[in-house]
């Protein structure tokens, strides 16, 4: 240990509702009420949440994606003074596609007690209602928006032996569904969960092709969690042509030549360079 000692401050990671206010546990409410400081992504958002629940924290401190690195020292100072610090995100469990990892890692490294009040998580909520298996699964969070990193992640999902959980915004749900259909094959099963725990909560189950058709027909928008079924044994050993084509196209869009993109995709997906190159030509009818 390099910092705190027995009886010094404590960092408590608190899960907050992802929609339904009734999902905040009594212990979470008590922790937020009693904390000396509540670290949160947006002080206005968390302030409104506490007000709706009839709670009042001593102090709110913003810790978000753009300032977390700078806030670490301040949080450690609070812990050194023996204060109890609660850490929340705007919704759900902190650090799950939300800020908080740097603060938690620094507190652990400094020797302070770090504990949690568990609760809502969009990823787990979607997984258990998807019906695609829960014994082992992959959390993908938000996929990269474009380029080689997106292609690589899509390729990994296409051959994954376990269900994959993906977060997506309403603005990009359409493109992600189509990219997944190209990579995984249109007959791959998927659960599309929208607005979990909220008034218009909806879980739709079907194939990726059907999901794309439904989206084109003007399906309702909102925050989404996708659960993509695991690849079958044959799919794991041989990525589909669609997966290879999409991966090559994404790398080319990022600036790589066709030959370079094909070589990178071949290495990532375990296919021959010739297959990757010729498959990409076939997609463009060349």
Q: ∠ at Cα 63 (62, 64), nearest 5°?
A: 110
Enter the tokens of residue 185. 């094959």
Output phi, psi for 85, to 5 deg: -110, 125
Q: What is the pLDDT of residues 148-182, one digit of tens each?
A: 788 888 888 998 999 999 999 999 999 999 999 98
Residue with tokens 């302030």: 47
Output phi, psi for 203, to 5 deg: -125, 120
Measured CA to CA, the distance from residue 123 to residue 175 in angstroms comes to: 20
Measured CA to CA, the distance from residue 114 to residue 21 in angstroms comes to: 25
Q: What is the reported pLDDT for 255?
A: 85
- Specify the length of the chain in residues: 286
Measured CA to CA, the distance from residue 155 to residue 266 in angstroms comes to: 11
Beta strand 224-228 pairing with 164-168: antiparallel
For the chain, the average pLDDT equals 89
DSSP H/E element including 224: strand 224-228
- pLDDT surpassing 80 at residue 285: no
Output phi, psi for 237, to 5 deg: -85, -20
Contact 222, 170 (CB under 8 A): yes
User: Of 35-39, 86-90, 108-112, 154-158, which range is least confident?
Assistant: 154-158
* Structural domains of the chain sorted by starting position, each given as residue range(s) with its CATH number in brackets: 10-120 (3.40.1010.10), 124-283 (3.30.950.10)
Q: What is the reported pLDDT for 148?
A: 73
- Residue 37 pairs in a beta bridge with 85
190 burial type by CB count under 10 A (0-12 exposed, 13-18 middle, 19+ buried): buried
Mean pLDDT of 246-258: 84
Whole-number Cα distances in Å, 27 to 86, 121, 155, 282: 12, 16, 41, 58
Q: At what angle do helices 241-253 and 173-184 cross, to 10 degrees?
A: 130
Measured CA to CA, the distance from residue 36 to residue 9 in angstroms comes to: 10
Q: What is the pLDDT of residues 100-143, one digit of tens each?
A: 999 999 999 999 999 999 999 999 999 999 999 999 999 999 99
Tell me how crowded residue 72 is: count the other CB atoms within 10 A of its CB: 18
Query: Which has more pLDDT, 155 or 30?
Result: 30
Query: Which has more pLDDT, 238 or 86?
Result: 86
Q: What is the reported pLDDT for 284?
A: 57
User: Of 34-48, 107-121, 264-278, which range is least confident?
Assistant: 264-278
Output phi, psi for 61, to 5 deg: -125, 125
Enter the tokens of residue 75. 């949080």
pTM here is: 0.80
Q: What is the reported pLDDT for 146?
A: 81
């Amino acid at each position: 240990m390099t910092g705190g000692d027995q009886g010094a401050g404590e960092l408590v990671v608190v899960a907050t509702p992802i929609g339904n206010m009734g999902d905040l546990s009594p212990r979470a409410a008590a922790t937020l009420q009693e904390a000396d400081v509540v670290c949160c992504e947006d002080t206005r958002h968390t302030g409104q949440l506490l007000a709706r629940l009839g709670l009042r924290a001593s102090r709110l401190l913003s810790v978000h994606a753009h300032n977390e690195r700078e806030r670490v020292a301040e949080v450690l100072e609070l812990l050194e003074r023996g204060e109890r610090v609660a850490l929340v995100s705007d919704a759900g469990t902190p650090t799950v596609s939300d800020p908080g990892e740097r603060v938690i890692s620094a507190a652990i490294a400094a020797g302070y007690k770090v504990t949690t009040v568990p609760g809502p998580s969009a990823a787990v909520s979607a997984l258990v209602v998807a019906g695609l298996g829960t014994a082992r699964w992959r959390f993908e969070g938000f996929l990269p928006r474009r380029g080689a990193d997106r292609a690589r992640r899509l390729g990994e999902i296409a051959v994954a032996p376990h269900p994959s959980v993906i977060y997506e915004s309403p603005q990009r749900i359409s493109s992600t569904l189509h990219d997944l259909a190209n990579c995984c094959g249109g007959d791959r099963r998927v659960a599309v969960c929208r607005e979990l725990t909220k008034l218009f909560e909806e879980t739709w189950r079907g194939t990726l092709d059907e999901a794309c058709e439904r989206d084109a027909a003007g399906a309702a928008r909102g925050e989404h969690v996708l659960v993509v079924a695991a690849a079958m044994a044959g799919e794991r050993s041989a990525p589909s042509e669609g997966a290879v084509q999409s991966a090559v196209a994404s790398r080319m869009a990022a600036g790589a030549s066709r030959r370079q993109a094909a070589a990178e995709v071949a290495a990532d997906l375990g296919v021959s360079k010739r297959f990757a190159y010729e498959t990409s030509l076939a997609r463009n009818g060349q």
